[in-house]
Structure 1
Amino acid sequence: MSVNAPVLVFMGVASTGKSTVAAMLAGRLGWAFEEGDDLHPEANVAKMAAGHALDDDDRWPWLDLIAEWIDERIEAGEPGIVTCSALKRSYRDVLRRDAVTFVHFAGERELILDRMLRREGHFMPTTLLDSQFATLEPLQHDERAIEIDIALTPAEQAAQIASRLRLHPDY
């Protein structure tokens, strides 16, 4: 097991580009990538698609699956990136490990709403954006994290993350 293998949790409200940048950066680095939305139980997806926000009881089992994925990477000594909204401190606490760094994709509501309106094939309706912002708890000084401005292009975001965290294929 390698304690040096980092795991990044790309977090933030919907439509901030977490998945796009995660896939791009993981591909460049040769790291494992997991789309956190794919780990949602079908009931969660159906609930959100119907316009209902998830509550904590819906989220805990999903967060546990993401935590398992993180633990598998750490135990194997393999770096990785997983996407997860991780809106509350308590959710991030479930995912927190020594090897984990949170990357918060942050931006203006209007920009995010515009992206949501143009997004195709995703279960998250625009009506849930305000509930996500209401749930979002700011990162605290004791959380290992950086913030990325979503107004940058995905390539600029990936480059900034790699530079700020000093990432490279061999970690």
Structure 2
Amino acid sequence: MPDGRNPRASRRHDLAALIAPRETDNERHTRGARRKRETRDRMLDAAFGLVTQKGMDCVTINEITEAADVGFGSFYNHFESKEGIFVALVEWLSEEFANALDRLSGDLSDPAEVIAVCVRHTLMRAYREPVWGQLLIREGFSSRALSRGLGLRLLRDSERGISERRFV
């Protein structure tokens, strides 16, 4: 060893230098992304709770951040405005419900039955949760909402029913 270095120790050090930063960066990124997602979800959950109590027009950003237990400035890290959180809230609720409908109808083979089950459960939820139903009526039928979540699933199931000649 002319340079006085231990080649075995050097290889371990080089390997650690190659691996450790990636692991640390991934952990930090994952933890940061998770915290950001959790903060956003807390604000969405708080906004939904407040909307059910007071209606959309009466909820303030300060009330949302207080209920979510986050700093006021954090709101603007996730949403551009009060309207922005309500758009995100509708998308969040729609996607969550669309996933639940997929789980409910996943074992059904008849596209007409899939649509019937999904419509029935949608109406039942709107009846049980009037604020959710109002959000669905207000925002759920917009072109933006129909191009995501429930709208995409309805399109998928309708196209399947048409292609299987279940709907003529």
TM-score by length of 1: 0.28
If you compute each CA radius of gyration, which structure gives the higher value, 1 or 2? 2
Structure with more contact order per residue of length (Cα contacts < 8 Å, sep ≥ 6): 1
TM-score by length of 2: 0.29
Please identify which structure carries the higher strand content. Answer: 1
